[in-house]
Amino acid sequence: MSGPANKLVFVGGMGAGKTTAVRAISDVEPISTEMPLSEDATADKVETTVALDYSSIELDDGELLHLYGVPGQRYLDFMWPMVCEGALGVIVLVSAGSPDPVATTLELLQEFSRIAPDASLAVGVTRTDEHPQLLIPTVRDALFAAGFRVPVLRVDARSAAQVTFLVRSLLSHRYADS
Amino acid sequence: MNTPIRHFRVAHAGLDLLHGTRLKLACSLLLAERMDIRLQPWSGEQADLLVVGGDPSAMAVLQQQARTQGVATLRIVRGATAATGVLPHGASVRDINQALAGLLAPVGEAPDPAAEQPAQAGTPLLLRAMQSADDASLYLLQRGATRVVVDTATRSLALPVGASLSEIVPLLDDLTWSSTALDMDTFQHQYVYLLPRRHSFESLYFCIARHRPQLLPAVAAGTSLQLLHWPDLDHRDVPASWLLPIARLHAASWTSTALAAASGLPHDTVQFLFSAAASSGLAKHQENAVPPSARPAGLRDSRFLTWVARRFGLDLQAGRA
Amino acid sequence: MSKLNLENLNTLAGFVGAALVDSDSGMALAMTGGGDINLELAAAGNTEVVRAKRRVAQQLGLSDTLEDILITLSSQYHLIRPLESNPMLFLYVALDRSRSNLAMARHELKSFEKTLDFS
């Protein structure tokens, strides 16, 4: 692969906040692509969900950082390798209200570490205000036990400051780990 | 700000109503400097300071009395210019306050036996509750209207909606906190709806490192340390300049001097990070830490990464010569 | 510290209450009467009024000294008068509007003030 890794990927299931997070740090409104909501969509009435968000951020020298918001649902997994090629970081977003946040996150970490071995990983837990019983160290320690030693932070996907903090953490982690 | 309150006795004589009133107020304002003043009329007995006014001949007599007792004096004299131990007539509350602070500061600590002493001066009550290994795992900490529940089982704090850790931290060493053990039922019925938010102990320790680092037990100089895990950080309490040192500490073991040099942070700040790491239980101590030398040249996107970082307000070049 | 006596002010027509206030500390050095007014609170509050007025005068470059400040309420007058001998102090007097005579009150306050010396 030529050129530097110039993509930052946010992946998460429905309600995890990936579209919101990408929008929060983009300079311009991201482009969103719709996909069928479920795998058994019928021809005439298809409910859609936003499947792919794309935005770019201009850096010094006119270079671009490409931002992707990618669904974590299995039936859309064909997208994953394409998006991850050239990714410097993959941020897994999970809602504290999802039925099994650790398992969901672990599955995605396992997949994406395999698909994008050169990318750095981080986890953002959203909606912790609504579900305060899920503590960050608990999630982090469980992921560590399964072999992933990565930054795990709480994040309100609507807040540019908080998403930026998560991105900065990932970038610092990547830089120090090299 | 781990200093206990110091108690003083200040005597007064010959002051008119105006200066007496201003002296009273000046004394009560000294509580902000952790000085508790008991004001009393001069009776020739032992005191830490005598404030004296009135006509010059009466003042001279009083001064002599004070001198024999070894008591310092603050004189309020008509037409005088302010100097150590002297204030002009009409001196303001602030002038008196500053003169008192200056004259009393060198006085040795004389604990007032009548005053309540904290059981363990030093560690704030809330931190002690967090470190307790008692059977009770829930503690209600109260200070006025402020309430926090410490849950040692989950190593978390329960806070009200909208309260942030950085609001609590400056209050930690206040002596008016009280601590009560709670049982789970009482907590569920009476407090959980008042204190629905949870923060981990870790996030509090790093918040303390930012706002009141003196409250954390210091880590011995020269200790080398690595972070077991990436800490649970709150974006409000961790400046961008801390992220790279934290990342380095996560990646490898460092001494504080080496990390300070590599990150361009003051050595003190790095010591505070070490303290927070140790208090949080995230410190992995390793002997013979080899501080990583120049970064391995393997990372092909290092320049691009620096640009990305800069776009996000992060300086990855900090500390480089 | 001697006590100060403001009782002679009771003779003012429409007298409700009075205080002698130190604007540096905001504290009342002496009080008399009061009716429904919390004189201590009024002392602290009016200290702010005096400070504000002085600040404005300073900003406007007025070289005049502040003689008094009159606050007209629906049923009362409140008169704030810094002492000539010590402008940091002021007399604060509340009068019932229907029974008072402002001109007389100002005149009597001026003479009463001469009995106080805080210079």
Tens-place pLDDT, residues A146-166: 999 999 999 999 999 999 999
Q: Which residues of C touch B12 (CB under 8 A)?
A: 1
Contact A18, A70 (CB under 8 A): yes
Kindly report the pTM of this predicted structure. 0.61
In a domain, B111, yes or no: no
Burial of B197 (0-12, 13-18, 19+ CB in 10 A): middle
pLDDT at residue number A4? 77
What CATH number does the domain containing B246 carry?
1.10.10
What CATH number does the domain containing C48 carry?
3.30.450.30
Q: Is the pLDDT of residue C1 over 50?
A: no
Q: Are residues B17 and B90 in the same domain?
A: yes
Contact B17 C4 (CB under 8 A): yes
In a domain, C3, yes or no: no
pLDDT at residue number B145? 83
In a domain, B116, yes or no: no
pLDDT averaged over every residue in chain A: 89
Residue of B15, B16, B19, B21 for testing the chain C interface, max C β-carbons within 10 Å: B21
User: What's chain B's Rg over C-alpha atoms?
Assistant: 27
In a domain, C119, yes or no: no
Tally of structural domains, chain B: 3
Q: Are residues B136 and B188 in the same domain?
A: yes
pLDDT at residue number A39? 57
In a domain, C6, yes or no: no
Q: Which residue among B155, B311, B314 places its CB closest to the CB of A172? A: B314
In a domain, C2, yes or no: no
Q: Is the pLDDT of residue A19 over 80?
A: yes
Contact A104, A142 (CB under 8 A): no
Q: Which of A89-93, B166-170, C41-45 is predicted with the least confidence, judged by mean pLDDT?
A: C41-45
Strand partners, B141: B148, B179
pLDDT at residue number A1? 44
User: Length of chain B in residues, anyone?
Assistant: 321
Q: Which of B162-171, B283-292, C49-58, C98-107 is predicted with the least confidence, judged by mean pLDDT?
A: B283-292
Q: Which residue among A132, A168, A178 places its CB closest to the CB of B197? A: A132
| Structural domain boundaries, residue B94 | 6-104
pLDDT averaged over every residue in chain B: 85
Domains of chain A, earliest start first: 7-39+46-177 (3.40.50.300)
Q: Are residues B91 and B61 in the same domain?
A: yes
Q: Is the pLDDT of residue A18 over 90?
A: yes
CA A80 to chain centre: 11
What CATH number does the domain containing B54 carry?
3.40.50.2300
Signed CA dihedral, C41, C44, C46, C48: sign only: negative
User: What's chain A's Rg over C-alpha atoms?
Assistant: 16
pLDDT, tens digit, 9 for 90 and up, residues A50-86: 678 999 888 877 888 999 999 988 878 888 998 898 8
Strand partners, C22: C27, C89
* Banded model confidence at residue B112, pLDDT cuts 50, 70, 90: very low
Contact A164, B240 (CB under 8 A): no
Tally of structural domains, chain C: 1
pLDDT, tens digit, 9 for 90 and up, residues B145-157: 889 999 999 999 9
In a domain, B317, yes or no: no
Counting as contact any 3 or more CB pairs under 8 A, the partners of B are A, C
Contact B273, B245 (CB under 8 A): yes
* Banded model confidence at residue A44, pLDDT cuts 50, 70, 90: low
Distance CA B245, CA B233 (A): 14
Counting as contact any 3 or more CB pairs under 8 A, the partners of A are B
Contact A132 B296 (CB under 8 A): no
* Banded model confidence at residue B135, pLDDT cuts 50, 70, 90: low
In a domain, B207, yes or no: no
Distance CA A79, CA B182 (A): 51
Angle between helices A160-177 and A18-25 (to 10 degrees): 90
Distance CA A109, CA A112 (A): 5
Q: Which residue among B16, B21, B90 places its CB closest to the CB of C25? A: B21
Signed CA dihedral, C102, C103, C109, C110: sign only: positive
Percentage above 90 pLDDT, chain A: 65
In a domain, C28, yes or no: yes
In a domain, C104, yes or no: yes
Q: Which of B80-84, B189-193, C25-29, C57-61 is predicted with the least confidence, judged by mean pLDDT?
A: C57-61
In a domain, C107, yes or no: yes
Q: Is the pLDDT of residue B294 over 60?
A: no
Contact A141 B243 (CB under 8 A): no
pLDDT at residue number B64? 87
| Structural domain boundaries, residue C109 | 11-114
Q: Are residues B185 and B132 in the same domain?
A: yes
pLDDT at residue number B102? 85
* Residue B236, SS3 per DSSP: coil
pLDDT at residue number A115? 93
* Residue C32, SS3 per DSSP: strand
Q: Are residues B217 and B306 in the same domain?
A: yes
In a domain, C1, yes or no: no
Instruction: Tell me what ipTM this predicted complex has.
Output: 0.91
